[in-house]
């Protein structure tokens, strides 16, 4: 039988809100605060925005991240409690997620490389709809999509913008990506596609001078793009910790039944 993991050295990070800052002061007083480089675990206090920021900052560290809800939206967070945090961390269940890698080439030929934990999205930059060509694994699947845009979402991001755009909710351990149009005009009834997470997605911008398009990986934006390549980066594994019964798997399952 394996012994429980010990999380003696905790690094706390918090959003700027008063609630998160008060929680930070309380927890640091109880458990101390270590530099993230020396810590066994990073505990994020805030909402989903802070969790995404923390995951990005520690993407390559291999350190587990445990969030507690002291912000606005807390889908990725556990309930807040200052009581017996080390025992709670030791009992937590781990979900491993992989980010998307976006390679966007703009009108000047410059290449923009960014990682996304939730989604890579393309948006029209002006009043005119975007015209896009979609290739999957170097095979043309849609010669022309006219829409406000399109996004590629991970399972972790499937309940975020993807869900707002009427995309499917994916179980966290599903080896899938969601390809979801944003306000499709033609083909009007196309609802998107489920792709294996091994897929190499290429989106080419047609008439880019007349209908400019921006590409966004979570919060990193490239404007006036001509070609956007997206794939799941299996070289990076991020470890998220959730209380038993409140895992990301359970939250995503519950979301599909309206809870």
- 49 belongs to an annotated ligand binding site: yes
20 is in an annotated binding site: no
48 counts as catalytic: yes
Q: Is 38 annotated as a binding residue?
A: no
- The reply, when asked if residue 164 is annotated as ligand binding, is yes
Give Cβ neighbours of residue 244 (< 8 Å, ≥ 6 apart). 91, 92, 93
Provide the 8-state DSSP code for 129: P
Residue 129 in marked binding region: no
Residue 65: CB partners within 8 Å, gap ≥ 6?
Answer: 41, 42, 43, 44, 51, 54, 55, 58, 238, 239, 240, 241
Cα–chain center distance at 44: 16
Query: Which residue of the set 48, 84, 218, 243 is catalytic?
Result: 48
Residue 48, annotated ligand binder? yes
CB 214 within 8 A of CB 123: yes
How far is Cα 146 from Cα 206, in angstroms, rounded to an integer?
10
**118 assigned ligand-binding residue:** yes
> Is there a binding annotation on residue 148?
yes
Write out the catalytic residue numbers: 48
Binding-site residues for NAD(+), please? 48-49, 118-119, 148, 156, 159-164
Binding-site positions read 48-49, 118-119, 148, 156, 159-164
């Amino acid at each position: 039988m394996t012994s429980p993991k010990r999380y003696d050295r905790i690094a706390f990070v918090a959003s700027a809100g008063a609630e998160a800052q008060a929680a930070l002061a309380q927890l640091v007083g109880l458990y101390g605060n270590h530099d993230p480089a020396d810590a066994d675990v990073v505990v994020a206090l805030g909402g989903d925005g802070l969790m995404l920021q923390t995951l990005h900052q520690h993407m390559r560290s291999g350190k587990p991240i445990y969030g507690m809800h002291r912000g606005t939206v807390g889908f990725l967070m556990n309930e807040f409690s200052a009581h017996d945090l080390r025992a709670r961390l030791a009992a937590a269940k781990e979900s491993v997620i992989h980010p998307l890698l976006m390679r966007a080439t703009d009108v000047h030929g410059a290449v923009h490389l960014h990682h996304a934990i939730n989604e890579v999205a393309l948006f029209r930059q002006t009043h005119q709809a975007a015209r896009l060509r979609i290739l999957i694994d170097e095979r043309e699947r849609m010669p022309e999509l006219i829409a406000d845009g399109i996004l590629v979402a991970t399972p972790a991001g499937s309940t975020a913008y993807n869900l707002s755009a009427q995309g499917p909710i994916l179980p966290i351990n599903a080896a899938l990506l969601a390809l979801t149009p944003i306000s499709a005009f033609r083909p009007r009834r196309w609802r998107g596609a489920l792709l294996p997470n091994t897929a190499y997605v290429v989106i080419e911008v047609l008439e880019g001078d007349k209908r400019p398009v921006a590409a966004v990986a979570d919060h990193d934006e490239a404007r006036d793009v001509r070609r956007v390549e997206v794939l799941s980066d299996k070289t990076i594994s991020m470890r998220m910790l959730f209380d038993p019964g409140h895992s990301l798997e359970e939250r995503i399952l519950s979301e599909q039944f309206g809870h």
